[in-house]
Structure 1
Amino acid sequence: MPPRSSHQPRAGTYIPYMAFIIFSAIFVFRLDVFVTQTISTARRNQELKYEITTQEPSPPTVIKNENATFYKHVLVTWGEFHTEILNDGELLKLTLDKHSGSGFQSRKQLLFGKIDMQIKLIPGDSAGTVTTYYFSSLGDHHDEIDFEFLGNSTGNPYTLHTNVFSQGKGDREQQFFLWFDPTADFHTYTILWNPKTIIFYVDNIPIREFKNLERIGVPYPKDQAMRVHSSLWNADDWATQHGLVKTNWTLAPFNAWYRNFSMDGCIWSPETRASACTDADFSTRRVLKMELDRRSRARMKRLQKKHMVYDYCKDKWRFPKGPGRECRMN
């Protein structure tokens, strides 16, 4: 055995290597955040390729059940042959393969309300895929309230991405790792949107709150009616580990499942440019006036502490002049 050298390297010689490792880790995290900012833009570009007219078309000529949830309430917007409605209209499947993804939107528009959907995500290796469920209006100055599920390789968790756009401006991302396997069973995802607040729920547990703070100059989505949208599409150029992990097409088709969709709120009429809700509704209907109470907000804060993995309000790298004014009160 060769003799052990009596010369021991000094601790200072490791400092440049440690600095490089720390810098690299920070850079990778910041790159991940930058990449996620492209989610809404990329998704909208993808879906615009298949955008259909917003005029209400005639319902399908063959309907087994006139009151079936998905036949009654949604329209397929793209990937017609990759969308299937089952169980007499109570179950909807979106499919993604190498040829196309798919998507749908609600027939009706809301100007304030609450939506619920039970979703079961792609199991196993879902790297490169993005499943979405969100409110959105149209145009360059659109409003939008997002749930987006970023797939990952087997054994790694989905990232639940949330964002709020008002008048075309977003950059309000918060991300979570879920405390359950969203592919093993259906789970309920809810967006509450009223003149006072926006609340995101998972299985009836609040995970995020965005208050109406127009009084301090924070834009709030309140003037544009929005439809509910959902889609499944490929984004393997950026979605998983900065695009390093590509979609494994040998596992296709990929399927996301939807059921128990409900809408409760103020239906907007494009013809009359008016809401179905009256002034009295905003003082009497719970969905239009509810907010988090102290107990629910405390529960949300505890959950965020455990499961939130990114908060734009704490990102000094992206916002060196400080976060938005809403961060002090949300």
Structure 2
Amino acid sequence: MNLFLTLCLILIVPLTNAQPSPGYWPSSKFKTIDFYQAYRNLWGPQHQKVEQNSLTIWLDRNSGSGFKSKSAYRSGYFGAAIKLQPGYTAGVITSFYLSNNEAHPGNHDEVDIEFLGTTPGKPYTLQTNVYVRGSGDGQRLIGREVQFNLWFDPTANYHYYAILWTPNDIIFFVDDIPIRRYQRKIDSTFPLRPMWVYGSIWDASSWATEDGKYKADYNYQPFIGRYNNFKLSGCTENAPASCRPVSGSPNPSGGLSTQQYVAMQWAQKYMVYDYCRDSKRDHSPTPECYAN
């Protein structure tokens, strides 16, 4: 970050804990699309329902459910409003993510928004993650997790979550506030192959809640995830070379504006884990933590 931007941040960072305006709302730049226009059921069709373009998926002891975009993309803006289930949801993950696992099994790329279930009285954890060329497979688990406890109750209302993926960076948004920017500092640590868009609800009892301390309890079934206001815009894998990546800022060339950086700095007060700051981890497989 250059000196001018640093000085701007110091001067305009809000002096209160009030949610700042990002000054730009990417979600308003893309039209809402019909679920079936862009997506299809991937698994658990009996645990998936679409009514008035709102999707409900649920997990019980028999199955969870997932959906997948009809096209793969090489860049784009992908978002949905999501409402989570209150109460006991330990072990359950509700997700919205990009992946090419089916095209490259054992050697895939992935960009995740995952809500890690919890126990009553404790907040949901929103986990963002990036896997590159199989770093999330088998024994070669190299996650790039950054986690947040949100500044609102994600079970009370729908909130908007989105991933912007361009050739230069990945930006995660919550209600149009950027919470994390993952830049292409080194080609080997950035996903460059086409990916599909997915969503799912599933049982991850072995690790999802406090490292697996609390498991999914099917006495509380069904566990429900609700999605609506789907937005998807980008360059498909077969789009012509003239297709330009969309932007998530007032700058058509991408990145973030100064006001968006301020909002991101505010949101990161709610960060509870950053893989780059974890002194217990070996950072040799994650050189982007040190790249300028």
Counterpart of 2:198 in structure 1 is: 229
Deviations 1:51-107 (A, max 9, x none): xxxxxxxxxxxxxxxx971122111111110011112xx110001111111111111
Counterpart of 1:326 in structure 2 is: 288
Counterpart of 2:219 in structure 1 is: 250
* Residue 102 (1) aligns with residue 65 (2): yes
Query: Bigger relative contact order, structure 1 or 2, given CA contacts below 8 A and separation 6+?
Result: 2
Match of 1:292, SS state, is: coil
- The code of the aligned residue for 1:267 comes to T
| Pairing partner for 1:184 from 156, 160, 179 | 156
Q: TM-score, normalised by structure 2?
A: 0.79
Deviations 1:186-221 (A, max 9, x none): 00001001111110000000000011113xx64311
* Residue 220 (1) aligns with residue 186 (2): no
Deviations 1:116-148 (A, max 9, x none): 110001111111211111000132221111001
Deviations 1:150-182 (A, max 9, x none): 000111111111111122224211111011110
* Residue 172 (1) aligns with residue 144 (2): yes
Q: Which has the larger radius of gyration?
A: 1
Counterpart of 1:5 in structure 2 is: none
- The code of the aligned residue for 1:297 comes to Y
Counterpart of 2:55 in structure 1 is: 92
Offset of 1:322 from its aligned partner?
Answer: 6.2
Checking the alignment, whether the CA contact within 8 Å between 1:128 and 1:246 is kept in structure 2 is yes
Checking the alignment, whether the CA contact within 8 Å between 1:94 and 1:256 is kept in structure 2 is yes
| Pairing partner for 1:297 from 261, 270, 280 | 261
Checking the alignment, whether the CA contact within 8 Å between 1:130 and 1:239 is kept in structure 2 is yes
> Equivalences for 1:1-330 in 2 at 5 Å?
69-87=34-52, 90-138=53-101, 139=104, 140-169=106-135, 170-214=142-186, 218-222=188-192, 224-269=193-238, 275-278=239-242, 281=244, 286=247, 289-304=253-268, 306-319=269-282, 324-328=286-290
Offset of 1:247 from its aligned partner?
Answer: 2.1
Checking the alignment, whether the CA contact within 8 Å between 1:151 and 1:158 is kept in structure 2 is yes
Counterpart of 1:30 in structure 2 is: none
Counterpart of 2:10 in structure 1 is: none
Structure number having the greater helix percentage: 1
Structure 1: gaps of 5 or more residues: 1-66, 270-274
Checking the alignment, whether the CA contact within 8 Å between 1:267 and 1:277 is kept in structure 2 is no
Match of 1:299, SS state, is: helix
Structure 2: gaps of 5 or more residues: 1-31, 136-141
- Indicate how the Cα distance of structure 1 residues 96 and 164 shifts in structure 2: closer, same or farther if over 3 A, else same: same
Tell me the number of residue pairs that the alignment of Structure 1 and Structure 2 aligns: 249
Counterpart of 2:11 in structure 1 is: none
Distance 2:189 2:210 in 1: 32
Checking the alignment, whether the CA contact within 8 Å between 1:218 and 1:325 is kept in structure 2 is no
Checking the alignment, whether the CA contact within 8 Å between 2:75 and 2:165 is kept in structure 1 is yes
Percent of pairs identical after alignment?
A: 41
Match of 1:301, SS state, is: helix
Q: TM-score, normalised by structure 1?
A: 0.71
- The code of the aligned residue for 2:215 comes to K
Match of 1:243, SS state, is: coil
Offset of 1:277 from its aligned partner?
Answer: 4.6
Offset of 1:248 from its aligned partner?
Answer: 2.5
- Indicate how the Cα distance of structure 1 residues 192 and 161 shifts in structure 2: closer, same or farther if over 3 A, else same: same
Distance 2:43 2:125 in 1: 25
- Indicate how the Cα distance of structure 1 residues 255 and 235 shifts in structure 2: closer, same or farther if over 3 A, else same: same
Distance 1:325 1:247 in 2: 35
Offset of 1:244 from its aligned partner?
Answer: 3.0
Deviations 1:20-73 (A, max 9, x none): xxxxxxxxxxxxxxxxxxxxxxxxxxxxxxxxxxxxxxxxxxxxxxx9711221
Match of 1:157, SS state, is: coil
Checking the alignment, whether the CA contact within 8 Å between 1:225 and 1:268 is kept in structure 2 is yes
Distance 2:266 2:151 in 1: 13
